[in-house]
Each structure stands twice: as C-alpha cells, then as structure tokens.
C-alpha cells in the first residue's frame, strides 16, 4: 500500500502537469523562482561571519517555516489532491499504511526540496566541528519530516471542513489575512534589522531566538549550535523534544484518519432548513435590473474564485495603502489604485455563470433586456466597490494628514472606478472567457483561453489608465492656477458615471448578437 500511495502521488503530479501547457510552464517558473529565492537565503546564511548570529537566524527561519507548513494546508487544501484523505474513505484501507504512504508521498515535489535546502543552509551556518555536523545529519531530516507530518496532520484533522464550501471561504479569507500579516511582518523585520551604519544587524533577533530554540521542531535544528558549543547532553535533549513532537503528530494524524474512515459524511444528508429572502433584497428594483443585481451578488458570494478575486482586490488595495504609509512615500492619491483594481472586477461578468448562462441567454431578446441585465451586474460591482473606497479614503487621509487632497483624490478614484466598470462591461461582451471549475490557483481560465485573460486584464488596466489621464490633467491645471481642487470630486463623479453609462450603452448594443459566443465560451469550463 505504501508503494501504491507513493506511485499515486507521482501519477497525480505527472497528470496534473500534462493537463495544459500553461500549468507546466507555471510549475517550472514557480519552481525556478523558489529555487532562486531559497538559494539566495541559503547563501546569505552561509556568508555570515558570526556563528552565533547564524544560529539565531536559523532558529527564526525554522520557526517561520513551521508556521508556513502548518498554515498553508488550510489555504491550499484543494490544490493538492493527495492531501485530501476523504477521497480514500470508501476503500478498504488501514490507517497506519496510509500514514506511511502519504508521508513518503509528501516528500515528492518542489516544496520539500526547497525546505530541505533552507534547513541545510541554516544548519551549515551554525556548524563548528565534527560534533555539530553529526547533529546536523540527524537534526535536518528530523526537522523536515516533522514539518511534513505537521502539514498532513493539520490537513487530515480539518479535511471535512476544508472540502466544503465553508472551508473554501475560510481559505479565501485566511489566505488573504495570512498574506497581509506576512507582508507586515516582513516590513517589521526589515525595519528592525536595518542599521544606518553597518547595514544588517541581527542583534534584534537574538531575544526571539533564545525562546524559539527550545520549541520543537526548532530545537532539533538548534542542536547543531549546541553540539558545536560542546554541550552534547543538551543537544540530545533538543533532538528528543522534536522526536516527541513527531510522535505526537503521528498519533494525531492516525487518529484523524481513523475518524474519517469510520464516521459518516454530513454533507450527504439532506438539509431540512429552508432559505428565506432577506429584507435587504426587497429594497432592490422589482425588474430585471434588480434580479440581475441580486443574482450577481449571490454568485459572487457563493463562487469561491469570484469571492477570492473580490477580496484579493480589496486586500491588495489596503496593503498598498499600508505600504505607502509604512515606507514613507504615502499620499492620499494612492487611493486611485483602489479605484482601478475594484473597477476591473467588472471584467468577465458572465464567467462565473458557466453553462447556466443559457437561462439568461433565453431571455435576452432585445437591447432593453441586455441593458437591464448589464446594468444590474455593473451595479453589483459598484455596490461593494464604492463603500470600500469611501472608507479607505478618510483612513488614508488621516494616516497621511492630507485632508485637503481627499476630495480631489476621491474624484479621480471614482472616475477610475467608472472607467473600469464601463470598459469591463464592454470587454465582458466582446472578449468573454470561462472561469475554471476547480479552485487550483494555477488556472485563471479554461484551457486555451489564457490569451484572452491576459488581453482583458492588461488591456483594461491600460485603458482605465488612459481614460483617467484627463482628470489628472485637470488636477494639474487646478494646482498650477492656484485654484481650489475640491470641485474635482463632483467632476470625477460625473466623469466616471458618464464613462460607465457609455460602456453599458455600447455593450448592450452588442450583447444580443454575442450571446451564442458567450454561451460557447461558458460551456468550455
């Protein structure tokens, strides 16, 4: 069984790469980029002259790897078929061979190779004699196996949740939060390690390393430093701590697999609780526009990939604003990037419908029907984009102290948002593409449609930037003529609304004749 599970992991990896050339190219590029970054970090650890500083950096690095290996299964669970033990619950398998086979299969892939390279470099930087080399030979593999076991144990314990729609929603929000916290931690670490006189100073890391080196699996890697100092009993104790953690994780993993193999799946039970329409939906217009708006919002909330795109745009806007404040180049006009990113959410409005778009196509008989359908979908985008920008604007103005520039910044931002909505609606009709059914992050479109995705995205970004330039020219004229800039707020609002209405008008004229092609692209998912 162990050999079969390892062969299954190899077959899944090979067949996944053979599904499309885009997946293979992305896999190669991603692996090469990860190898370059890992090699750079490893070289930096090896070039440190101070062995104590190298050991402190190795402890912090191992702790960061532990957090990543424990958290990533919660966000990328659906991207690795071998991490889902529920796919094997109907087979007559025993949990213990499943643990051994899955653990050996987890060693296959670029992730474990890059982790082994990082751990080896971290241990090599702290070595100082034959005793420390012997400790590294034991400690590095022990640390890597513990990290892999931790990852698989977390995935098995949360398999039921992560394979459900709520689990995918959690992955979206959790992944976004994890990315934001990682970026904030990166900024904090850079500011702490940067010294004006000597460049990089690792002394701020020492208090954290003094605590982390006693926490497994960091303790097994720090045993290299302890053995180099001549304290063999303490090094053996550190290795034993990681060994005890590995045994506990294997027991937890085995218990989770046993529970999955013998317990029923609640997702197969028929739900008895009905759904009711909320009061908020009653405020929408009682026509096709209101129905399209409600349907688009419901699809956006229930479709994991659509939800990921929306919250990624909102999160990246917030991160970009935070970076501008932290790094000292802040300006309230950074908000314009938020208008651009949120406006681009109107691209590919029919992609999330999939083959169900045929029900919409049956009722698109006239331009009036097309106009109401597009108006409802565009209004759904504005319904969450405008409040986000109105909240971020005052927050960014308070952080920068540029309250006098808030009104013109909001004007240009709303103009960019309107331009993005108008252009996105038009591109949704002229250049449609399907969203893939699977949630793999390697695929942003159905096979054969990647070129259309790139043309939509980069073409829309360039088009919105060009359409927003007139507002920037008006702002420059106001500043040079020493005129008040607050009139740019209503001017930008009117300009953006005009571009949105123009895009809706042009798209509605073409939609009835483009319905068959949009439906053909939707079925390709």
Domain boundaries, the chain: 2-264, 285-523
CA nearest to 338, candidates 309, 318, 308: 318
Strand 199-200 relative to strand 194-195, pairing = antiparallel
Query: Concatenated DSSP letters for 495-524?
Result: HHHHHHHHHHHHHHHHHHHHHHHHHHHHHT
Q: Which residues pair with 357 in a beta bridge?
A: none
For 459, residues 6+ apart whose C-beta sits below 8 A from its C-beta are 427
Predicted pLDDT of residue 357:
77
pLDDT digits (tens, 9 = 90+) for 210-231: 888 888 898 998 888 888 888 8
pLDDT digits (tens, 9 = 90+) for 257-311: 888 777 665 544 444 444 444 566 667 777 888 888 888 888 777 766 677 677 7
pLDDT 10s per residue in the chain (525 long)? Answer: 888 888 888 888 888 777 767 677 777 887 888 889 888 888 888 887 777 788 888 888 888 888 888 877 776 655 566 667 777 777 777 888 888 888 888 888 888 898 899 899 888 888 878 888 888 899 999 999 999 999 888 888 877 766 665 555 555 555 556 665 665 566 555 555 554 444 456 666 777 788 888 888 989 988 888 888 888 889 899 999 999 999 999 999 888 888 877 766 554 444 444 444 456 666 777 788 888 888 888 877 776 667 767 777 777 777 777 777 766 667 888 888 888 888 888 887 887 777 777 777 788 878 888 888 888 888 888 888 899 889 888 888 888 888 888 899 999 999 999 999 999 889 888 877 766 655 444 345 554 555 566 667 777 888 888 999 999 899 899 888 888 888 889 999 999 999 999 999 998 888 888 888 877 776 555
CA 229 centroid distance within chain: 42
- Buried-state track 340-377, b at ≥16 Cβ within 10 A, e below 16: bbbbbbbbbbbbbbbeebeebbeebeeeebbbbbbbbb
Q: How many CB atoms lie within 10 A of CB 418?
A: 29
Q: Determine if the peptide bond prior to 217 is cis (ω within 30°).
A: yes
How far, in Å, CA of 419 to CA of 425, rounded? Answer: 10
For 318, residues 6+ apart whose C-beta sits below 8 A from its C-beta are 180, 392
From residue 300, give the alpha-carbon distance in Å to each of 305, 307, 350, 361: 8, 6, 11, 19
Residue located via tokens 């109105």: 390
Burial of 184 (0-12, 13-18, 19+ CB in 10 A): middle
How far, in Å, CA of 25 to CA of 35, rounded? Answer: 15
Q: Give start and end residues of each alpha helix (H) in 263-356.
A: 288-302, 304-326, 335-343
Q: Give start and end residues of each alpha helix (H) in 194-231.
A: 206-212, 218-228
Contact 139, 224 (CB under 8 A): yes
Retrieve residue 129's tokens: 């004699």
Predicted pLDDT of residue 144:
93
Say which DSSP state 164 is in.
S
Retrieve residue 356's tokens: 């169900």
Contact 86, 268 (CB under 8 A): no
Contact 63, 218 (CB under 8 A): yes
Burial of 244 (0-12, 13-18, 19+ CB in 10 A): exposed
Q: Between the CA atoms of 377, 304, 167 and 273, what dihedral angle is there, to the nearest 10 degrees?
A: 40
Residue located via tokens 């999330």: 352
CA 399 centroid distance within chain: 26
Predicted pLDDT of residue 72:
76
Q: Determine if the peptide bond prior to 340 is cis (ω within 30°).
A: no
Mean pLDDT of the chain: 79
Predicted pLDDT of residue 273:
41
Which helix or strand (DSSP H or E) is residue 408 part of? helix 406-430
pLDDT digits (tens, 9 = 90+) for 425-484: 898 888 777 666 554 443 455 545 555 666 677 778 888 889 999 998 998 998 888 888
Q: How many CB atoms lie within 10 A of CB 210?
A: 11
Q: Give start and end residues of each alpha helix (H) in 1-76.
A: 2-18, 21-46, 51-75
Global pTM value: 0.58
Contact 322, 395 (CB under 8 A): no
For 522, residues 6+ apart whose C-beta sits below 8 A from its C-beta are 350, 351, 353, 354, 355, 357, 432, 434
């Amino acid at each position: 069984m162990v050999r079969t599970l390892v062969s299954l992991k190899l077959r899944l990896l090979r067949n996944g790469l053979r599904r499309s050339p885009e997946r293979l190219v992305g896999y190669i590029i991603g692996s090469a980029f990860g190898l370059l970054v890992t090699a750079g970090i490893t070289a930096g650890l090896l070039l440190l002259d101070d062995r104590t500083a190298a050991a402190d950096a190795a402890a912090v690095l191992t702790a960061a790897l532990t957090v990543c290996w424990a958290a990533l299964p919660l966000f990328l669970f659906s991207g690795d078929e071998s991490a889902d033990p529920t796919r094997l619950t109907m087979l007559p398998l025993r949990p213990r061979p499943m643990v051994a086979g899955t653990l050996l299969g987890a060693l296959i892939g670029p992730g474990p190779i890059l982790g082994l390279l990082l751990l080896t470099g971290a241990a090599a930087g702290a070595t100082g004699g034959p005793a420390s080399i012997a400790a590294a030979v034991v400690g590095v593999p022990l640390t890597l196996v513990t990290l892999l076991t931790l990852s698989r144990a977390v995935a098995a314990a949360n398999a039921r949740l992560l394979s459900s729609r709520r689990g995918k929603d959690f992955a979206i929000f959790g992944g976004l939060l994890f990315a934001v916290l990682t970026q904030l931690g990166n900024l904090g670490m850079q500011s702490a390690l940067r010294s004006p006189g000597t460049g990089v100073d690792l002394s701020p890391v020492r208090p954290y390393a003094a605590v982390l080196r006693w926490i497994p699996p960091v303790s097994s890697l720090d045993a290299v430093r302890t053995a180099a100092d001549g304290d063999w009993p303490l090094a053996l104790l550190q290795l034993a701590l990681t060994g005890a953690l590995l045994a506990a994780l294997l027991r937890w993993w085995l218990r989770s697999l046993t529970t999955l193999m013998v317990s029923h799946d609640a997702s197969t039970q028929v739900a008895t609780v009905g759904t009711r329409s909320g009061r908020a939906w009653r405020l929408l217009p009682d026509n096709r526009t209101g129905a399209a708006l409600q349907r688009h919002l419901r699809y956006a909330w229930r479709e994991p990939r659509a939800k990921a795109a929306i919250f990624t745009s909102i999160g990246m806007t917030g991160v970009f604003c935070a970076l501008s404040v932290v790094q000292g180049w802040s300006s309230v006009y950074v908000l314009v990037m938020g208008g651009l990113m949120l406006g681009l959410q109107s691209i590919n409005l029919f992609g999330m419908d999939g083959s169900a778009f045929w029900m919409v196509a049956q009722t698109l008989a006239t331009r009036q029907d097309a106009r109401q359908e597009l108006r409802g979908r565009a209004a759904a985008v504005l319904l969450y984009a405008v409040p986000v920008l109105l909240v971020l604007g005052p927050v960014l103005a308070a952080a920068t102290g540029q309250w006098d520039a808030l009104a013109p910044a909001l004007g240009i931002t709303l103009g960019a948002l309107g331009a993005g909505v108008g252009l996105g609606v038009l591109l949704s009709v002229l250049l449609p593409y399907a969203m893939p059914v699977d949630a793999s992050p390697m695929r942003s479109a159905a096979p054969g449609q990647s070129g259309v995705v790139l043309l939509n995205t980069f073409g829309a970004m360039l088009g919105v930037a060009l359409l927003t330039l007139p507002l920037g020219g008006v702002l420059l004229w106001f500043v040079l003529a020493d005129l008040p800039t607050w009139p740019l707020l209503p001017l930008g609002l009117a300009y953006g609304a005009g571009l949105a209405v123009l895009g809706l008008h042009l798209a509605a004229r073409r939609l009835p004749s483009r319905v068959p092609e949009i439906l053909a692209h939707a079925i390709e998912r």
